[in-house]
Structure 1
Amino acid sequence: MVRYNTKDWITFIFRFHQSDTFRKLLPLMFFIGGYSGLICYLEMEYFHLGEDSKLKNISIMHGMLGFVISLLLAYRTNTAYDRWWEGRKLWGTLVNNSRNFSLKLAAILENEIDRHFFQKVIPLYAHILQKHLTSEESGLVLYDDLDLAIDHAKHKPNQVAKMMTNKIHELYKEGKISGHQLLFLNTELQSFTDVCGACERIKNTPIPYSYSAFIKKFIFIYVMTLPFSYVFTLGFYVIPVVVFIFYVLASLELIAEEIEDPFGNDANDLPTEKIASNIKKHVEEIFG
């Protein structure tokens, strides 16, 4: 995730980060510029069209559709940001529940071996979930002297949650925790799976294809018809104007595409690896 100072306007304006849409759109911007120049040349120099040409009236369509396309892009970016923010809230919940679960167990458990088990396995869940959401393999996880084999063929976060659940019930059968304490711990134990399921819902449910494809086609047709009418008022200056309009509209769509899946490895995705590392640090402090 990109770290930045929200008040540093100069950096925002003149710095091009690797995640900036300008770099991604540059080839298309050259194409749009060349296309606009060709249309301008044909209308002005080849066909010698004048102010009375009916092509000039195409701008009426652009005026009517401009409001529609702004509504579509606003809805698109808001929907994508809601998914990004929900993902951040879920990982915030995972942080709090990991701390609460650790605090309760640190107060209840006295046996050092039992405490050591949870000190390693609670952060392991966040680590495995982060790998699971980014589709990275993590078949064998080693935490100091605690060896935990994770089966690739099975749901990896569920395997870690099962380890913790089995250990809690084992402690209950041994009399190390009471029935009241078992219920006391169940809320946080259940929350691990709840967070995982909600993250998977975001990860595995993209924006409907038809909706995303329609916006792209709408932007393309809108931009490609701009030179036909505005060439009569702007002349060859229509080239930078059309390129800039395309850059603005296409950038909004690209930004929405990037943040609608907040668990990837893009520059603007959530720093889940850093959050998982913080969970490990905090849990070790609690049990230490």
Structure 2
Amino acid sequence: MIVRPKLSWFKMLFIWRGSVLRTVLPPLGLVLLASVLALGWHTLGGQMPLRLDLHLDPRPFSLIGIALAIFVGFRNTASYDRFWEARKLWGALLNDTRSLARQAGSLTTLRADDPRLRGFVMLLVAFTYSLKHQLRSSDDRSDLNRLLPPELADRISMAEYRPAMALLLLGETLRQWRDEGVVSDWMAAQIDQKLSALADVLGGCERLSNTLIPFSYDVLLHRTVYFYCLLLPFGLVSSLGIFTPVITVFIGYAFMALNAIANELEEPFGVEPNDLALDALSRTIERSLREMLGDRELPAPVAPRGGYWLT
């Protein structure tokens, strides 16, 4: 996630780090090459032995451009909806884990320094990290070993769906507390509702991760954008003349950059610059829950990479 401070309008014109210009620069080079070719053929075509007219009528490009802008806008809206839903799910994760830690600490008979209370809260933290690693297909073993006793870390690591296993261990802990009289039946039911809310967060994240925008739709829009941008110079060269490369590259940048941003937002749990900062969110949850346990030495917040990119 890009975390740059607000810049002036002039600096925004030339910002490089954090933009998608690095991604679209190679295809923009092809658009520039096509523009130079169209301009050269239009200027020198009459002097060549082979008089092949590459001029195209600009009117169809206007109609296609309007339709393409609508489709690209719809694609960005669909991708941003996925990004925003993912952010709401992780916001709910923060709220629900805090509520569970508060309920375990204030509505049970456990003392603040009881290791059973710490074990329950650290299981919540482990659930958060396991979910992050599952969504990013990374290894969560180091975090589990850091947060949990070896037997619990091994039990979660042996599972295929590790966040679900962490939820199962939380449920087993709650049942044990109820059997021991640590928590009343009514209060156990309230805590179990919050555990079910964590299960809803897990299912929502898995749905977003496993169900992408249909691939054929993505391919169609991608091909249309590139073919339109490469043919555009031949439709504008007769009216724009020497300014054809500048205008076509600018139009190409608008379409290709929007398409590139949509591709990044489509998978909000990835590690692209515009994806969610799951490392920072997980660390925030850990710091918050540890503070509720009374810890004074908290892990440091995740620092932005290069001063602008929060992972």
TM-score, normalised to structure 1, is 0.91
Q: Please say if 1:221 is aligned against 2:221.
A: no
Q: Please say if 1:172 is aligned against 2:171.
A: no
> Which of 135, 145, 152 in structure 2 is aligned with 1:142?
145
Change (3 A) 1:162 1:73: same
**TM superposition shift of 1:109:** 3.8
Measure, in 1, the Cα distance between the counterparts of 2:158 and 2:66.
Answer: 49
- Write out per-residue CA displacement over residues 156-187 of structure 1, whole angstroms, 9 at most, x where no aligned residue: 10111111011111111222222111111111
Percent identity over paired residues: 25
Measure, in 1, the Cα distance between the counterparts of 2:11 and 2:242.
Answer: 32
Measure, in 2, the Cα distance between the counterparts of 1:157 and 1:11.
Answer: 43
Measure, in 2, the Cα distance between the counterparts of 1:89 and 1:236.
Answer: 49
Give the aligned residue type for 1:61.
P
Asked if structure 2 preserves the Cα contact closer than 8 Å seen for 1:123 and 1:283, the reply is yes
- Write out per-residue CA displacement over residues 239-276 of structure 1, whole angstroms, 9 at most, x where no aligned residue: 22212211110000000100111111111111111111
Aligned position for 1:113: 115
The residue matched to 1:265 in structure 2 has which SS?
coil
Change (3 A) 1:97 1:145: closer
User: Structure 1 stretch 85-94 or stretch 221-230: which is displaced more?
Assistant: 221-230
**TM superposition shift of 1:85:** 0.7
Aligned position for 2:130: 128
The residue matched to 1:276 in structure 2 has which SS?
helix
Measure, in 2, the Cα distance between the counterparts of 1:144 and 1:264.
Answer: 24
**TM superposition shift of 1:190:** 0.9
Asked if structure 1 preserves the Cα contact closer than 8 Å seen for 2:30 and 2:230, the reply is no
Measure, in 2, the Cα distance between the counterparts of 1:280 and 1:126.
Answer: 8
Measure, in 2, the Cα distance between the counterparts of 1:54 and 1:13.
Answer: 37
User: Structure 1 stretch 134-143 or stretch 272-281: which is displaced more?
Assistant: 134-143
Say what the alpha-carbon RMSD is for the aligned residues.
2.1
Aligned position for 1:33: 32
Give the aligned residue type for 1:114.
R
Q: Please say if 1:64 is aligned against 2:77.
A: no
Aligned position for 1:23: 22
> Which of 270, 275, 287 in structure 1 is aligned with 2:281?
275
Measure, in 2, the Cα distance between the counterparts of 1:32 and 1:174.
Answer: 71
Q: Please, which runs of 5 or more residues in structure 1 have no aligned partner?
A: none
**TM superposition shift of 1:146:** 2.6
Change (3 A) 1:229 1:113: closer
Change (3 A) 1:135 1:13: same
Measure, in 2, the Cα distance between the counterparts of 1:127 and 1:256.
Answer: 26
The residue matched to 1:142 in structure 2 has which SS?
helix
TM-score, normalised to structure 2, is 0.85
The aligned length equals 284
Measure, in 2, the Cα distance between the counterparts of 1:57 and 1:245.
Answer: 17
**TM superposition shift of 1:192:** 1.2
Bigger RCO (CA 8 Å, 6+ sep) = 1
The residue matched to 2:145 in structure 1 has which SS?
strand
Give the aligned residue type for 1:9.
W
Change (3 A) 1:42 1:243: same
Aligned position for 1:196: 202
**TM superposition shift of 1:11:** 3.3
Change (3 A) 1:144 1:196: closer
**TM superposition shift of 1:55:** 6.5
Measure, in 2, the Cα distance between the counterparts of 1:192 and 1:80.
Answer: 24
Change (3 A) 1:10 1:231: closer
Asked if structure 1 preserves the Cα contact closer than 8 Å seen for 2:24 and 2:260, the reply is no
Aligned position for 2:4: 4
Asked if structure 1 preserves the Cα contact closer than 8 Å seen for 2:110 and 2:117, the reply is yes
